[in-house]
Amino acid sequence: MSRAEKKLAELKAKEELKKIKAEKRQKQQQSLEDSKQQWNALPQKTKTILKVIGIIIVLFVLIGVFTPSDENKDQDTAQANETTQTTQESVEEEPEPKTDQEIMFDKVIGLTGSKEAFDTGSYVKGDIPTGEYAFVSFDGSGQYYSEEDTAGNIIDNENFDSFGYVYVQGAGNIKTDGVLIKTEAFEKLDVKSAKEIYEKLNNVSDYKESAMYKVGTDIAPGTYTIESYGDAYVEVMSGPVGNSDIVNNEIFKGKYSVTVSAGQYLKVSKGKIL
């Protein structure tokens, strides 16, 4: 099972466990309320008799005289099994709707079969077709990407804070700690950018933190102000990692203004777009 599939299974298991616990609490509360109503409806004389009987039973238990019969044990076991089966049937009959996060994991995993998406791991030359891919990290994954030639020399590599873009040259070994998704497959995921995929896989919204943004896709062309967290870094690139030149870059503290145009890539590290 891949890392993305494990994450999806974990999310589904947590949601189902929460539902079962909620149903159990509701049944216990309802049973308690029913018992109270039945008790309150009894005549006072009957209540007194039942209390006396209860005291006698407790005494029998304490002296070890009262012992449950095998028949009662079998009945209790049968009732418990029936209750468990009923609970399971209820869960099966009324499944919880999938979250946006689960839906996105399902879709990304579905693209792996057509080689339009690749899970975290190491690949050899020819495993991943050449072209541009979105690199997207998620909870449980890493941030590193690299491609080497057949001699083991690094052609390009990058540490992504969240998401970004790479160009696979098909020259040799590839290591990716995040999911790689072909940009042409965005439509099949019902998204337009790596930013949208990252937000859904990580259950966040309106993300403006450290990332590599594709101008015209993740953000619109224009002038942006970046606010730093300590020593921040901003870089404008002509293309994705593996197929680009640096247009300009800057290390700064405080705020920095940068203008980008369609087709460029804006890398922000330790900063936030205001």
Q: Given this model, what pLDDT does residue 211 score? A: 97
The total number of structural domains that make up the chain: 2
- Based on the domain organization, do 116 and 202 belong to the same domain? yes
Q: Indicate whether 107 and 228 sit together in one domain.
A: yes
Is the pLDDT at 19 greater than 80? The verdict is no
Using an 8 Å Cβ cutoff, are 180 and 117 in contact? Answer: yes
| Better pLDDT: 18 or 132 | 132
Q: Over range 215-220, report the average pLDDT.
A: 97
pLDDT class for 114, splitting at 50, 70, 90?
very high
Same domain, 84 and 130: no
**What pLDDT sits at residue 196?**
97
Residue 58 scores a pLDDT above 90: no
pLDDT above 80 for 109: yes
Residue 135, C-beta contacts closer than 8 angstroms, at least 6 positions apart: 145, 158, 160, 163, 164, 165, 166, 176, 178, 179, 180, 194, 241
Domain identity same for 155 and 257: yes
State yes or no: pLDDT of 47 exceeds 90: no
> How many of the other CB atoms lie within 10 Å of CB of 39?
11
Enclosing domain of residue 32: 16-93
Backbone φ and ψ for 84, nearest 5 degrees, come out as -60, -45
Quickly state the pLDDT bin for 71 (edges 50, 70, 90): low
Q: Is residue 1 part of a domain?
A: no
Cβ distance 188 to 145 under 8 Å? Answer: no
Identify the pLDDT of residue 17.
73
88 with 106, same domain?
A: no
pLDDT of 130-164, one tens digit each? Answer: 999 999 999 888 999 999 998 999 999 999 999 99
Residue owning tokens 């949601």: 15
Q: Give dist(CA 11, CA 232) in Å, integer.
A: 34
Q: What is the pLDDT of residue 74?
A: 60
Supply the pTM of this predicted model. Answer: 0.70
Residue 89, classified by CB atoms within 10 Å of its CB into exposed (0-12), middle (13-18) or buried (19+), is exposed
- Beta-bridge partners for 167: 132
The chain-wide mean pLDDT, for the chain, equals 85
Are the C-beta atoms of 182 and 229 separated by less than 8 Å? no
Domain identity same for 151 and 196? yes
